[in-house]
Structure 1
């Protein structure tokens, strides 16, 4: 009986495993392998150079370290401040204040709009000539603060950050769903024991939804590791590389016909992602058995 079950299990898993190998595992191995080559299409070049691409990235490429720093800082902001914003809103909404369903729906709307559309909205918002931000500053007598927000080195990074920072809809929705699914008798017992609303949130609800928050942190880190269109449309990574991240830098390297070097950047993205996921799993106890 066990042998027959094993055969059926293998049969049903085979299509998924084959697709995984063809679409993900084999290309992933190819990325690691080709990062060790000088790989170009025009002229056709495929020469083994070992770790020279990685040595060049960290010791000779003046752009790479600032780009890596931007990526890491954005991951930290997204995983800490962005998730915290969504979690706080979820903790407010789970108490079902007046209009909480309306807030839940409307707060999610920006997250279902494409990044390209959001980027175009903020391009108009920040526009130096007719943008709403500069118009507001002029209306309240702060003309001296008007400037080109996306193309000034001092403000480009925070300006791009604000294009996604305030839209924590996924975090709010997932944490709120976890809060609403909590047994109300636990909260009632805490109230009977004299716990305040803040104490219930900190000592009862937070431990119960901790792993869901950890899940949203993983989603946030993954999102920032693949952020591309928002940056590409708003600033193109400029001015200089003040708003460039690793995916955008990889894209510009591919456009320069340097595929081996681009794949070495891809390997760095994978390593950064692996380290980030490991830290998040340890922090939130995602690997522990209940």
Structure 2
């Protein structure tokens, strides 16, 4: 037993060291410098919680926080629903699974910046396919989707939609591992396809749905590249999110201490969201 524990420690040590260097140490440094007035090339000096007070008095930060929370909710509800629904529909046509998996992998192969440029072209007011199609249907005075304050938020939300393809792939993969005998027993008992889906299939897939929900929600704390390629947080602050606020604060205003304070709050926000989602789905636990 002691020998097994010894080898266990030996195998875990490299991963633990890598985790400490790549994640733990930077988080500690981030937290420490968030309590300083670190600006540009000046040396950081401790200033207590002044940065956090400034943030909650900053209208841009509050707007970015609200936008980020809204996108987290949309990503973990609407986009998850679309992905799961698509998987359930495609599962009825198993012949197409291999083809579907290949097609749905495209959004994961293409970089987020490229996806952003793709949507810029699709929604271009002059030659974009969307506006051209709407004009063919008789619509007039169509907006510049990313520049109009009334449509920019919706347009950016659409660019997150490819995540639904990832959800579809993961859910379809999980469905292949379901015990066929359970589904056959339900059919013998007279359960309809809808009842089987709602009462058997979805409950058995709650772990993967919960996991994808966590991935979707927390991904909104990392979205910067698509905003860089589309709206740059505008018009005004309509599409400003926390990652872009951090970028502007750190690299435009050179207020590194203040930017690190936002980073700490984003970590806390992420942990709270993950905890709530895990509580809802009871990820990792099986029903008795």
TM-score, normalization by structure 2: 0.94
Q: What 5-or-longer segments of structure 2 have no aligned partner? A: none
**8 Å contact kept, 2:104–2:166:** no
Matched, 1:54 2:52: yes
1:154-233 equivalences in 2 (<5 Å): 154-165=150-161, 167-233=163-229
TM-score, normalization by structure 1: 0.94
CA RMSD of aligned residues (A): 1.6
Shift of 1:100: 4.4
**8 Å contact kept, 1:90–1:175:** yes
**Residues 208-254 of structure 1: CA deviation (Å, up to 9, x unaligned):** 11111001111111221111101111111111111111111101111
SS at match of 1:286: coil
Shift of 1:91: 1.2
Pick the aligned partner of 1:276 from 257, 273, 278.
Answer: 273
Pick the aligned partner of 2:231 from 214, 230, 235.
Answer: 235
Matched, 1:92 2:89: yes
Aligned length: 286
**8 Å contact kept, 1:107–1:167:** no
2: CA distance between counterparts of 1:170 and 1:250?
27
Pick closer, same or farther for the CA change 1:26–1:185 going to 2, 3 Å. same
1:127-142 equivalences in 2 (<5 Å): 127-142=124-139
Matched, 1:265 2:247: no
